[in-house]
Amino acid sequence: MSEADDCLFCKIIAGQIPSSKVYEDDTTYAFNDINPKAKIHVLIVPKKHYANVAELAAADPAELAHIAEVAQHIADERFHGAFRLVFNTGLDAGQTVFHVHAHVLTGEVLDE
């Protein structure tokens, strides 16, 4: 059994667990966070499983760049282009799902 077989976000991408889709293309999926920390809180994930942002950057830097562009696209459509992009990396940084995901926080003026 591979790491991806038991991964919550792989199951969401495969449609085995429901999610509220915001954006999708061949390589990338975005959906609303179940516990939003801002008025708009979207998670963007590569469809391929990588544990964290450093693994993704090493294996597929173009996909990491694409995730930044998708974040901009979502913020352009929903909040005049301003957004915060966060990758929690490692348990002690608050990472709880070990399939890399960008948190896109937008939709309101954010505190510093």
| Residues catalogued as catalytic | 101
The residue written with tokens 């992009």 in the block is 85
d(CA 110, CA 106): 7
CB of 6 or CB of 92, closer to Zn ion: 6
Which among 3-11, 21-29, 36-44, 59-67 is the span making contact with Zn ion, rule CB under 5 A? 3-11
Please report, as residue ranges, which positions from 66 to 85 form the binding site for Zn ion (by CB under 5 A): none
d(CA 105, CA 65): 17
Q: Which of 1, 5, 96, 112 binds ligand 5GP (CB under 6 A)?
A: 96
Q: How many CB atoms lie within 10 A of CB 106?
A: 23
List the end-to-end C-alpha distance of the chain, in Å, as a whole number. Answer: 42
What residue is closest to Zn ion based on CB? 7
Residues 32-51, mask of contacts with Zn ion (x by CB under 5 A): -----------------x--
CB of 31 or CB of 79, closer to ligand 5GP: 31
Check binding of 97 to ligand 5GP (CB under 6 A). Answer: yes
What are the angstrom distances between the C-alpha of 91 and each of 3, 62, 70, 95, 97?
17, 26, 26, 5, 9
